[in-house]
Amino acid sequence: MVELPESHSGWTFVTNHARVLAAIADNPNVRIRDIAAHCRLTERAVQRIISDLEQDGYLSHTRDGRSNTYRIEPDKVLRHPAEAGLTVAALLS
Coil, strand or helix: which one is 70?
strand
Amino acid 33: pLDDT: 97
Residue type, 67: S
What is the pLDDT averaged over residues 3-31?
Answer: 84
pLDDT tens figures, 26-72: 999 999 999 999 999 999 999 999 999 999 999 999 998 999 999 99
The fold of 16-92 is Arc Repressor Mutant, subunit A (1.10.10)
What is the dihedral angle through the alpha carbons of 57, 69, 92, 9, rounded to the nearest 10 degrees? 100
Per-domain residue ranges of the chain: 16-92
Residue 11 confidence class, pLDDT cut points 50, 70, 90: confident
Nearest to 70, CA basis, from 36, 22, 37: 22
pTM confidence score: 0.84
- How far CA 10 is from CA of 7, 46, 81, in Å, comes to 10, 20, 25
Amino acid 19: pLDDT: 96
What is the pLDDT averaged over residues 1-11?
Answer: 60
